[in-house]
Amino acid sequence: MDGITRLVYGIYPRSDELRVLISRTERGKAVTGDLRDRISRETEDLLSTFRGSSDIYSEPCVNWHDFFRPVAGFLTGFSLGKLQRYLQTNTFYREPVIESDLSLRDRFTEIDPPENLPAPLFGNDKEAWLTLPSPHSIFQASKNPSGIDEEKFSDSIFRAYAEIATELGRKGIVLRELFPYSDRAPDFLGALNGKFKTILVAHPESRSLPATGRNHKFHSIVASNQLLARAADSYEVPGIYALDGYNTKLEDAENISRKSEIAREILSVPRVVVTSNQHFDFLPRVIADRKLAVLKSLGAS
Amino acid sequence: MTGGLVTQEIGSFRKPEYLSTVFRKGGDDVRKLIERATLETLGVFRDSGLVNVGVGGEMFRWEMYEHLADHLEGIQFYGFVRSFDNRYFRKGSVVSKIIRKSSAHLEELQFVASHATEKIKVPITGAYTMTDWSFNEHYPDRHELALDYADVVHEEILDLKSEWQKIGRDQVLEIQIDEPAATTNPSEMDILRDTVERSIEGIQGCEFTIHVCYSTDYGILYKALADTALQGYNLEFANRDTLLPGINREQRTGYVDVKEFADRLGDRILGLGVTDVHIDDVEGSDLIKDRIEFSTRFQDIGRIRINPDCGLRTRSRETGFRKLKNMVEAGKAFTDRT
C-alpha cells in the first residue's frame, strides 16, 4: 500500500511446542541441544514470515525471557535482582542491578545470560534489525546502587549496541521505550543515530519525545500524532500505532489504512511507519499470528 | 489454636505430581485424584498445626483465574500468555457479556467440609483481578466489565452461603476475596472499591476478607477500601522483609507498612504474611516470631492472624509444610511468651 512502511519488532510469543520444550529442559527432561535446534528453527520460520508480512522487521527473540535480562547478560557490570511487575500488566521481569561500569562482554553472541536459555542471543539474518531496549528503559527498570548517572549509563549502552550491530552487520536498530516519557524526555537518545538507522518506538503514554536535532535524526519515531507533530525535526519518517499489542481484538485493515492517511495529512508527510503499540509477547501466539496477517494485508508499498 | 493466635493458609498448595500431570484431562479418574490430593493436603495442614485449613490447598482448581473463568459464559481462550520467564497462564478474552454458568466452588466446599473439622476459608478470585487479567473485546470500559464480574462473585457467595447453612457448621463462613491485581492500576481504585462492595453487598452471616500481595503501595488499598464491609485483610509482607533476626525497623523493613494499616484499619483483622512463598529458604520460627512481635507495636494482637504471604503452590510440598510448621510454632512461641 502506498505511503505505508510496515514494521514488526520486539519479542514474538513462543509457540506452545517451544514453551513446553523449554519447560521440559528446565526440569531436565529434554536436552539443551534439542532446545537450541528448536529455537533456531522457530526463529528461521518466523523470520521467513516476517519477510513476507512487513517492510522492516527485527529478530523475534523467542529465546528471550524478558527484555532486560539479555542486556544484563551481554554486558559486564550488571547482576540480576528480584522479579518486578512491568507497569500495569501481569507480566514480570528480572530487575537488572547496575553494579559497576558497563562494557560488552567478549563473545557476546554466544553468551547464555544467567537464568536465560541456553541459546545464542541473536540470529543470522542480516536483513533483520536488532530490537533492543532503549538505555532510558533499562535505566528506569534497574536498581542502581552504583549511583551511575543516566547519561554516562546511556553512552555505555549505546557503545555496546553499536559494537553488536557492527559485528553482526545489521542495517539498523529498533529501540524500544518500555516506559512513558514524562514532560521532558532525555535529550541524549539520538547518540546512535549517526552510526545506524534507528527507529524509536516510544511508549504510547509518553508526554514528550527526545529532541535530537537535524544532524542525527531517528529513521523513525513511533508515537502519537500529537507528539510527532511537535518533534518533526527528530525523525525522517513518523510512525503510528495501528495494532494493539495489549488486546486480542483484531484490527481492521481498512481502519488502519484510514488512520495512516489521517497521520500523513496531519503531519504533512508522504509516508508513515505502521506498527503495534507494544510487542506481541503480551498476546497468545495465535492472535499475534493473526495481527501479523493484518499487517501483511496492508500490502507492500 | 496456638494459644489464641489464628494460623491460616492463603489458598493454593503445590499439587502432587500424580494430579498436576493429568489435571487438564478432567473426568471421573481425575476427580478421584483431586479428592485424594485434597485429603493428603488437609493432612499436611493438620500436621503443621494450622487452625484454618482453607479448602485443602485448592486441589480442585488448576489456577485461580482459569478456574473461575471456566465456569462463565463470555470468555474465550486463545492460548497462553507469559507471566514471567517461561511461566505462562491462559488469559481469557471477554467476547460477550459475562454470565455465570455454574458454581466454581460448591463441590470443593462440600468435599472439604465433609472431611475437615477445622476452620474453613473459601478463596474466590475477585472481580477486579478477573478484569485486569482478561483481554476485553466486548465491554465499552473496564468498570462495566468489572461490575459484571462482581455480580458473578456475588452469586457465587450466595450459593456457598446457602450450602454452608445446609452443612450446619458452628462456624461463620469465611470468604477470602483474592485480589492480587488490586493496586496494579492506581487510577482504578474506584473500580476495585465498587466491585468489592457489589460482591458482598447485602450478604449477612459471612466473614469477608481480602487477600492482596506484591503491591507497591498498600496505602492506596487501605484508603480505597476503608469504608467497605470487609472485616479483614490478608496481606503479603515477608517478601519485602529482611531475613535478619530482630525487632527493630532496620531488620523488619517489610512490616513498617503495618503502622499505616493500623492507623487506617486498626479495627479490622490483619492476616499478617510472615513467610515468603517465593523463596525456598524456610524462615525459622524465631524470625517469624520477630515479625509478629514487631507488628504488634502497631496492630492489636487480638486482631492479627498469621499466614504465608500468598498461596504456597510455587514451593515444593515439603518446603510448604516446613514453612507452615515454623509459622505455627512461631505463633505459639509468641503467645506463650506474652
What CATH number corresponds to the domain at position A214? 3.20.20.210
Q: Is the pLDDT of residue A118 over 70?
A: no
Number of domains in chain A: 1
Query: Quick check: A220 and A176 in contact, CB under 8 A?
Result: no
d(CA A24, CA B44): 28
Q: State the average pLDDT over residues B237-255.
A: 96
pLDDT digits (tens, 9 = 90+) for B27-86: 999 999 999 999 999 999 999 999 999 999 999 999 999 999 999 999 999 999 999 989
Predicted confidence at residue A213, as pLDDT, reads 61
Provide the pLDDT confidence category of residue A116 given band limits of 50, 70 and 90. low
Nearest to B79 among A26, A93, A285 (CB): A285
User: Are the Cβ atoms of B84 and A115 closer than 8 angstroms?
Assistant: no
Predicted confidence at residue A227, as pLDDT, reads 96
Mean of per-residue pLDDT scores for chain B: 96
Please count the residues of chain A: 301
Residue B301 lies in a domain: yes
Residue B1 lies in a domain: no
Q: Which domain holds residue B92?
A: 6-337
Residue B214 lies in a domain: yes
Q: Is the pLDDT of residue A171 over 50?
A: yes
Q: Which domain holds residue A98?
A: 4-297
E-strand spans in B264-328? 269-275, 304-308
Predicted confidence at residue B95, as pLDDT, reads 98
Number of domains in chain B: 1
Q: State the average pLDDT over residues A154-165.
A: 92
Q: Answer whether A243 touches B (CB < 8 Å).
A: no
Mean of per-residue pLDDT scores for chain A: 90
Q: Is the pLDDT of residue A211 over 50?
A: yes
d(CA A196, CA B139): 43
- The better pLDDT of the pair A109, A202 is held by A202
Nearest-by-CA chain B residue for A11: B82
Provide the pLDDT confidence category of residue A119 given band limits of 50, 70 and 90. low
**CATH code of B109's domain:** 3.20.20.210
pLDDT digits (tens, 9 = 90+) for A238-273: 999 999 999 999 999 999 999 999 999 999 999 999
pLDDT digits (tens, 9 = 90+) for A62-81: 999 999 988 888 889 999 88
The residue of B24, B85, B145, B279 whose CB has the most chain A CBs within 10 angstroms, and thus the best one to mutate to test that interface, is B85
The residue of A88, A250, A285 whose CB has the most chain B CBs within 10 angstroms, and thus the best one to mutate to test that interface, is A88
Buried b (16+ CB within 10 A) or exposed e, A103-138: ebeeebeebebeebbebbbbbebeebbbbbbbbbbb
The CA R_g of chain A, rounded to the nearest whole Å, is: 19
d(CA A182, CA A186): 9
In 10 A of CB B266, how many CB atoms?
A: 14
Residue B293 lies in a domain: yes
Query: Which among B215, B259, B220 is positioned nearest to B240, based on CA atoms?
Result: B215
Q: Cell for A276?
A: 503495534
Predicted confidence at residue A111, as pLDDT, reads 60
Instruction: Tell me what ipTM this predicted complex has.
Output: 0.91
pLDDT digits (tens, 9 = 90+) for A17-39: 999 999 888 888 888 788 888 99
Predicted confidence at residue B1, as pLDDT, reads 41
pLDDT digits (tens, 9 = 90+) for B259-286: 999 999 999 999 999 999 989 999 999 9
